[in-house]
Structure formats: C-alpha cells, structure tokens
A and B are shown apart, each in its own frame.
Chain A
C-alpha cells in the first residue's frame, strides 16, 4: 500500500505519531430465528439480567467519566441511564419478544436500530449526533444479552493512535490517556462526543475521514495531524522527521502557553492589563475561561438576531445574556448593542438596499430610530446585569449627540424597570465603541458621558484609511498599524485616562502579537480578542516592561509609514527575545 494523505475534519488540535490500533467494533451476529412460546420466559429473564448488568456498567463508566473529564461529561451517562430506564424502550423490546417471538438479542438490536435510524434522520445536527448515544446503549445492552464482556479502550500497554469507525461516549471515556495519543474516526464532526472529549483531555482527533478503518492496518505507523485535519499513512522518513519536529514544537509551545492561563497579565514592572475575549454565543465562554480570560470585552449580540424569522424577544435575549454573565462569575462582560447593517443582514429585519451600506443606516443609528428594538435589548441587558458584572457598549457612535440620546433612552428604560421592581445593576457602566474617526478625534467631548471606550480597529481602519476591507484589489492599503490609526488610538487612550476612564480594544489588532508591545506602551487597559489568541498576547505582556513598551510606542509614533512601523515592531520583538513561534 502506498502512502496516503487523508483529509478529514480537525476535531481536536495537536499532532501525534504512533502505531495504529484499529478498533474494530465488529458487527455482532444476532440470531434472527424465532423462538417457541415456552422459551419466552427465559428470554425475558435474560433481558432483565442484561438490563441489570448494563445499569451497573453505566454507573461505573459514569464514575470514571466524572474522575477523568468532570461533571459535564459524566452527565452524558445520566442520559444513557435514563434511556435504559425509559419505559417505552423496555416495552418496545418486550413487545418484540412477547408478540413477535424474537430472541432478546434480536429484539434489543431491532429496537436500538429503529431509534438510531429515527435520530440520524433528524434535521438538527445535535440530535443526529445523539444517534451515537442510542448505538452506544444498544450495543452495550446487546453485548450483555449475549454474555460478552464490554468493549474497553483502556487495555493498552503501548502508545497507540486509535482508528475507529466511530467512538461512542463510553469509548471516549474509557480511553486511557497514558497510551492513547489521539484518534481518527470515519464519521462525525466538531460537535461529536469524540471531538468534545478529545479537546477536554487534550489529545488530537481527526473525524469524518470516510473509511479510514479500511485504509489503515493494525500496527502500522500513522501520523495524525489534528491541526490541519489530516491522517498520513505509510509516512516516509522525510514526513516522519518533519512531523516529529512539528509535534515537539507544538507540544512545547502549548505547554509553555498553558502556564499563562492561570497567571495575571502584568508586566515585570507591575503594569496590569486585562486580556479579554470577543464572543458571539454563550457557548464561547467555555474557551474564554479555559484560556484564563479576564472577561469578555465584546459580546456580539447579532448572533441572537441572525437566522431567525422574527426579532428575538426580551426573554430570549435575557436568558442568553444572563447565561454568559453567570458563567463569567463576576468577571466583566461588555455587551455590545445590536450592530447590524454594513455587511451584516438579518432575515427577521429587512434593511433597505443602500448604495453605501457601511456609511448608511446601521447599528446605533437603527436603534435610535427603532426604539422598540432598542428598548427590548436594553431591558434584557439591564435585567441580566443583576446576575453578573455587565457593561453596555454602543456601536458606531460618530459624536457626543448620539451618546446623549442613547443614554437618555437608557435612563428611561431603567426607570421602567424600577417602576416594575425588576432588579438590575443601578451603576451599570456604559461605553462606546470607537470605530468612526470622528469619535476618536472628539473623544475629549464624549469622555464625560461614558465610563469607557473600546476601540474597534477593523472599522476604524476602514473608515480612516478609506479602504474597503473586502476589496482584494486594495487589500494592501488596509493597514491597522498606519500612523494615523496609532495616533487616533493614542488620543483615545490619553483622553480616557485624563478623565479617569479606561480604554479597551476589541478589534483584531488587539490580538495581533506584533502590535501588543506598542498598544501596551500606548497605555491600552484592556485587550479583547478571540479566545485562542489570549495566551500568546499575555505571554508577550508578561515579558516586556511597561517602561520599555512606552519607549517603543513613542518611537513607533515618530515613524512615517505602516511598513516602517511593522518592521520596527517585528525587530523590537526579536530584540526583546520574544519568540512568537
């Protein structure tokens, strides 16, 4: 067999090289012959015993899951136990034995298969994945009916990469991390149990590989690339060498970065900043906390409005905001009010066609015109503020007038809640997103009206440099490190500090390692970025003194072009011995 590179779906990051263990969940042969009525009692008895053993095994697996992966994953098995104890599941099986004269094994197989089919045909991806639960339960029960030992993946004495058709939740829990270096499976995607558990226990996983179980021989060496979603069989010397180096580098960098998660973002000379994350849905918080985020610097609420036939009501929004506020456990959560228009369209709220949507009716401009939409959202945010540390941020502010209008309306909404005795944080902080140059330039006029600024560099760059981000023809002109941008950023930060306020940044520049030292030196208080960038930026901040960063920023401001600034930033990082690999 010649070497093959097989593309799948990257389920969990990392690289593993090792011996393949082809986990053949061979199809159990079930006797389909019918039974005579006098044997029926015996089959029912056999079923009852198997139910009992299955319940015991599940309790055991649950305990193991709790120990290895925590309550979240252990509770998957509560659902398994519930299915096992479901009266209609048992009735269906009994019915086939009593009425159709099937053996217990045959009845279990048929009923499980029927539900697997039902679930795998459902529209919802999550529900389709639940077919795996049924398969798992059915298989386990069937093995017990047939008197076979449960399948376990913890019997290894050597390192392996598990190659399987699919991994059931039971399989993934029994995986012994000392020996199992990763897994490659035929089916599934990022939301499969297999992928979720792999990310939790931190072994690489590649899913959706088609027929990987047919292409790999038990015992052969394979490379599992969980970064690019590849499996390489029969690798040559050169590939092995390359991947060995890559794996060592990846693991060392990951271990090094991991240490950052629990450390504060503070420079050696004591300047504290906040490293926060940008999120879109409540589920994103998990990654923020896992990477030691200090909070959420930007919660994009648009996702609640997208793909919906109608505008989300107050209760739905409240539940989402509350969930995030609670899971952050007191860490700040900056909720940005609806930012639609521009390139973001909604099914539930048709926007008029405009020749220049980025310069048109969008974000706060819509909210100030459509008070009904704005009121619903503000009420939901205010109500959620009773459950955590919530801040409000208005997008697309061009001047102080809009801030005053929005704040006046916010005061009205607060008064409504007060009259209805609905609890909320009476001192809730309010800020604006600085993404229009006029707001950056008039920051001194706006500052008394707000508690904070957060610089949105993506739009600020687009508006300041007159560059359409999406236009590839001029992509070279899109330069976040342009002297004009740095001057605006500096102005906003300086003004906020003079007024005793803070400035954050939630545009992509905040997560850019090259910009970190300069932004630190300019005095940025909060860096908000995608959760996966946080550790690296924190690492840089922990290695450079605030004093040095200020000097570097000062020098950067004297340079004339973005190219010069980029080059200077790269050079200083190197001089400071900051290795970005």
Chain B
C-alpha cells in the first residue's frame, strides 16, 4: 500500500475530460487504486465514481494504490495531475 497527497490545480478539476484521462491512466495499472477526497473514497478506474466525488480545482486528494505496481501507479497519476490533466 502506497499513497500520496496532491492538490488539483487544473482549472476545471476532475470533470468530464480530465476525469476520462485520469481513469484511463489508472486503468493501465494492475494495482487496486483509489482516490480519496475528505472521508469519501472512490475507485480511480471508474469515471462515474471519480466524477461522483465532485473534485474541483483546489481540492486536496489522497491517491493510494495496493498491488504489484502501486508506486508507479501513484507516481503516474500524481504526475498527470501536476501536468494539468491535459488542460
């Protein structure tokens, strides 16, 4: 189990298109990955669950992964958010 905190900075947060990119990236890893906002947590590979969290710009998230490629998975998702999620 490995986790890291990050603040979402791209302008629209984890909405439709950025969320799509995020979940697609998550799906390329074997580990079970979850994204948590406050006390709510969701499967990072499900766009519906991620959208349901309602993540706006400025939201702090904890991304955690459990599995063979947990470190790479968290690092890749953090990097994606830092790069602005394609926006």
- Show the binding face of A for B, using Cβ within 8 Å: 75-76, 78-79, 82-83, 86-89, 115, 118-119, 122-124, 126-127, 130, 133, 282, 315-316, 319-320, 323
- Show the binding face of B for A, using Cβ within 8 Å: 9-12, 15-17, 19-20, 23-24, 43, 45-49, 51-52, 54, 56-58, 84, 87
A323 to B47, CA, bound (A): 25
Report yes or no: A86 in contact with B20, Cβ–Cβ below 8 A.
no
Report yes or no: A88 in contact with B51, Cβ–Cβ below 8 A.
no
Residues of B within 8 Å of A315, CB to CB, are 9
Partner of A319, one of B9, B16, B23, B54: B9
Report yes or no: B16 in contact with A86, Cβ–Cβ below 8 A.
no
Report yes or no: A88 in contact with B54, Cβ–Cβ below 8 A.
no
A119 to B50, CA, bound (A): 12
Inter-chain CB contacts under 8 Å: number: 57
Report yes or no: A123 in contact with B47, Cβ–Cβ below 8 A.
no
Q: Considering only CB atoms, which chain B residue lies closest to A72 in the complex?
A: B17
A118 to B46, CA, bound (A): 15
Q: Show 16 residue pairs from A and B whose CB-CB distance is below 8 angstroms, ordered by the A residue.
A: A78-B17, A79-B17, A86-B23, A86-B48, A88-B43, A88-B48, A89-B46, A124-B54, A124-B56, A126-B12, A127-B54, A130-B15, A133-B16, A315-B9, A316-B58, A319-B9
Given contacts A82-B24, A122-B54, whether A87 and B45 have CB atoms under 8 Å apart is yes
Report yes or no: B15 in contact with A126, Cβ–Cβ below 8 A.
yes
Given contacts A316-B9, A319-B11, A320-B11, whether A118 and B52 have CB atoms under 8 Å apart is yes
Report yes or no: A115 in contact with B15, Cβ–Cβ below 8 A.
no
Report yes or no: B15 in contact with A88, Cβ–Cβ below 8 A.
no
B57 to chain A, nearest CB (A): 8
Report yes or no: A86 in contact with B46, Cβ–Cβ below 8 A.
yes
Residues of A within 8 Å of B84, CB to CB, are 319
New A-B pairs, 6, CB < 8 Å, besides A123-B54, A126-B15: A78-B20, A79-B20, A82-B23, A88-B46, A122-B54, A127-B51
Residues of B within 8 Å of A115, CB to CB, are 48, 52
Report yes or no: A127 in contact with B15, Cβ–Cβ below 8 A.
yes
Report yes or no: A86 in contact with B9, Cβ–Cβ below 8 A.
no
A89 to B15, CA, bound (A): 17
> Closest 5 CB pairs between A and B?
A88-B46, A79-B16, A82-B20, A82-B47, A86-B47
A141 to chain B, nearest CB (A): 13
Residues of A within 8 Å of B57, CB to CB, are 316
B53 to chain A, nearest CB (A): 10
Residues of B within 8 Å of A323, CB to CB, are 11, 87
Report yes or no: B11 in contact with A83, Cβ–Cβ below 8 A.
no
Given contacts A124-B56, A315-B9, A316-B9, whether A130 and B16 have CB atoms under 8 Å apart is yes
